[in-house]
Amino acid sequence: MADDKLQEYQCPNCGGPLEFHGDVQKMVCVYCDAQFEMSQFNQNSPKVGDEQPTHWEQAQGQQLEAGAAGMKEFQCNACGAVMVSDGQVGATECPYCGNPAILESTFEGINLPDGIIPFVKSKQEAQDAMSGYYSGKKLLPNNFISDNRVEKIQGVYVPFWLFDCDVNGSAFYRAENRRTYSKGEERWEEIKEYAVSRSAVMRYEKVPADGSKEMKDEYMDSLEPYDFSKIIPYQPAYFSGYLANKYDESADDVKERVNRRIKNTSEQQIRDTVRGYDSVRTESSDIRINSGKIRYCMLPVWMLTTRWNGANYTFAMNGQTGKVTGDLPVDNGKATRMFLLTSVIALAILEALAYFIFCQDEISIFALIGAAVIALIIGGVTVSSAKASMVSHLKTEAKEFLVKDSFRLTAQNDRHIDTRHRKISGGN
Ligand SMILES: [Zn+2]
Ligand SMILES: [Zn+2]
Section 308-312 average pLDDT: 80
Question: 66 with 197, same domain?
Answer: yes
Which of 138, 83, 133 is CA-nearest to residue 316? Answer: 133
Q: Is residue 186 part of a domain?
A: no
239 shares its domain with 384: no
- Amino acid present at 46: P
Tell me: do 226 and 373 sit in the same domain: no
Residue 106 near residue 82 (C-beta atoms within 8 A): no
Q: What is the value of pTM for the model shown?
A: 0.72
Q: Which domain holds residue 33?
A: 1-50
Q: What spacing in Å lies between the alpha carbon of 102 and ligand 2's midpoint?
A: 8
Residue 411: pLDDT above 80? Answer: yes
Give the C-alpha separation, 25 to 7, whole Å: 13
Q: Which of 173, 165, 164, 163 is nearest to 199 (CA)?
A: 173
CA of 12 to the centre of ligand 1 (A): 7
* Residue 391's pLDDT band (cuts 50, 70, 90): low
Could you tell me how far CA 319 lies from the centroid of its own chain?
Answer: 21
What mean pLDDT do residues 181-202 have? 96
- Is there a domain that residue 187 lies in? no
For the chain, the straight-line distance linking the first and the last C-alpha, in angstroms and rounded, comes to 30
Q: Does residue 421 lie within any of the structural domains?
A: no
User: Do 248 and 297 reside in the same domain of the chain?
Assistant: yes
Which of 49-63, 301-315, 384-398 shows the highest mean pLDDT?
301-315
101 C-alpha to ligand 2 centroid (Å): 9
Is residue 264's pLDDT more than 90?
yes
Dist. CA 10 → ligand 1 center (Å) = 8
Residue-level pLDDT at 7: 47
pLDDT digits (tens, 9 = 90+) for 270-286: 999 999 999 999 999 99
Residue 303 half-sphere exposure toward CB, CA atoms < 13 A: 29
Count CA atoms closer than 13 A to 3's CA, side-chain side: 12
- Across 304-314, average pLDDT: 83
Give the chain's domain count.
3
Distance between CA atoms of 242 and 72, rounded to whole angstroms?
Answer: 11
The residues with which 423 forms a beta bridge, in sequence order, are 188
How many A from CA of 36 to the centre of ligand 1? 10
Give the number of other CB atoms < 10 A from CB of residue 263: 21
Instruction: Evaluate whether residue 179 is within a structural domain.
Output: no
311 pLDDT band, cuts 50/70/90, is confident
On whether residue 419 sits in a domain, the answer given is no
CA of 23 relative to ligand 1 center, distance in Å = 19
Rounded percentage of the chain residues whose pLDDT exceeds 70: 90
**Window from 193-197, 286-290, 362-366, 400-404 with minimum mean pLDDT:** 362-366
Question: Is residue 240 domain-shared with residue 290, that is, in the same domain?
Answer: yes
Please tell me whether residues 225 and 351 are part of one structural domain.
no
Which ligand has the minimum distance to the alpha carbon of residue 303?
2
Tell me how far the alpha carbon of residue 177 lies from the centroid of ligand 1, in angstroms.
Answer: 22
Q: Is the pLDDT of residue 98 over 70?
A: yes
- Identify whether residues 9 and 157 lie together within a single domain: no
Which residues are bridge partners to 161 per DSSP? 209, 296
Is the preceding omega at residue 300 within 30 degrees of 0, hence cis?
no
Q: Comparing C-alpha atoms, which of 74, 83, 80, 104 is closest to residue 214?
A: 80
Relative to the alpha carbon of 77, which ligand is closest?
Answer: 2
Cα of 279 from ligand 1 centre, angstroms: 22
- Taken as a whole, the chain contains a residue count of 428
The mean per-residue pLDDT over the stretch 243-269 comes to: 92
Phi-psi region of 309 (alpha: psi -120 to 50; beta: other; left: phi over 0): left
Asked if residue 184 belongs to a domain, the reply is: no
Q: Based on the fold, state whether residues 352 and 279 are members of the same structural domain.
A: no
- Same-domain check for residues 373 and 279: no
Q: Output the CA 30–ligand 1 centroid distance in Å.
A: 7
31 lies in the same domain as 139 = no
Tell me, in angstroms, the distance from the centre of ligand 2 to residue 83's CA.
10
Q: Is residue 177 part of a domain?
A: no
What is the structure's pLDDT at 420? 96
**pLDDT-based confidence at residue 394 (cuts at 50, 70, 90):** low
Which pLDDT value is given to residue 56? 80
Which of 200, 245, 186, 181 has the alpha carbon at shortest distance from 219? 245
Which stretch of DSSP H or E encloses residue 382? Answer: helix 365-388
246 and 362 belong to one structural domain: no
- Return the number of other C-beta atoms located less than 10 Å from residue 428's C-beta: 4
**Same domain, yes or no, for 227 and 109?**
yes
Any residues with CB less than 8 A from the CB of 40 and at least 6 apart, and which?
A: 12, 27
Biggest CA-to-CA distance, the chain: 95
Nearest ligand to the CA atom of 100: 2
pLDDT in the model for residue 238: 86
**181/390: higher pLDDT:** 181
What's the pLDDT tens digit per position in 123-180?
A: 999 999 888 887 777 767 776 666 567 888 899 999 999 999 999 999 999 999 999 9
Per the domain annotation, does 372 fall within a domain? yes
What is the model's pLDDT at position 46?
A: 67
Structural element, H or E, at residue 263: helix 251-271
Ligand whose nearest atom lies closest to the CA of 82: 2
Cα–Cα dist 371/352, whole Å: 10
H or E element, residue 370 = helix 365-388
Rg (CA), the chain: 29
